[in-house]
A and B are shown apart, each in its own frame.
Chain A
Amino acid sequence: DTAVSQTPKYLVTQMGNDKSIKCEQNLGHDTMYWYKQDSKKFLKIMFSYNNKELIINETVPNRFSPKSPDKAHLNLHINSLELGDSAVYFCASSQVAGGLADTQYFGPGTRLTVL
C-alpha cells in the first residue's frame, strides 16, 4: 500500500490556467506538507498543515493555496499558473507536528510543466 500518494504524476498546462494536485496519506499522520523542488534540486517547504493550523512559507505566492478536506488529504490549488511554477511538487506527512523531529514520508511527486 502506498503511504503517501499524489495525483497526477505529470501535469502539463498553459500559463494562466488554474490547476490542483491531490495528496492522500494513509498513515494516520496529523501533519502534512507541500514542498517544491526546482530545477536545481533545491527542496523548499511551501506549507505545513496540522489539525487545522496552516503554516505558510511567506515566500509562497498567494496563488498557491492548500485545501484539506480531512486529516488524510491536503490538496494544492494553484491559480493563474506562471512559467516559474514549473517544478516537481512533493507532498509529505509526519506524525509529529512541524519540524524534523520526526520522519517525513514523501509522495512520489508531481511534475508540473507550465507552457
Chain B
Amino acid sequence: SQQGEEDPQALSIQEGENATMNCSYKTSINNLQWYRQNSGRGLVHLILIRSNEREKHSGRLRVTLDTSKKSSSLLITASRAADTASYFCATDAPYNNNDMRFGAGTRLTVKP
C-alpha cells in the first residue's frame, strides 16, 4: 500500500483563497517532502521537513508535521491560478531510506 495518502483527492478554490492539503502516512518516517506536478510535467520539489521538525515555511507555503498523528499538511496562502497542479507528499523510512513512497496526490484547481 502507498505510504503517503493525500486528502482531499481534489480541491477547487478561487484565486486569493487559501488551500490546505493533508498527507497521512502509516509508519515512522525520517523525512517528508512535498512536491508539485503540473499536468504532463515532472515533479518539482517544494519543501522538505524532517521528522524532528514541526513547521517550515517557504514563501506562500507552510508545511506542518505531526509525527504523533502521522500526518502533514501543506498550506498555500493567497492562491493564484498558476498554483493549479497536483501536490504530492513523499516519505522515507528510518530503517531503509531507499524505501521512498509517494501518495496519489491532491489535484488543486485555482479559478481566476
A residues near B (Cβ < 8 Å) are 4, 35, 40-45, 48, 55, 90, 92, 98-109
Chain B interfacial residues counted at CB < 8 A:
28
5 additional contacts (CB under 8 A) given A42-B102, A43-B90: A4-B42, A101-B31, A103-B33, A108-B41, A108-B42
Of all chain B residues, which has the CB nearest A31?
Answer: B98
B30 within 8 A of A: yes
- The 22 sampled A-B contact pairs (Cβ below 8 Å) are A4-B42, A35-B102, A42-B2, A42-B104, A43-B88, A43-B102, A45-B99, A90-B43, A99-B30, A99-B92, A100-B31, A100-B48, A100-B91, A100-B100, A101-B30, A101-B48, A101-B50, A101-B97, A104-B43, A105-B45, A109-B40, A109-B41
**Complex-state Cα separation, A67 to B58, whole angstroms:** 37
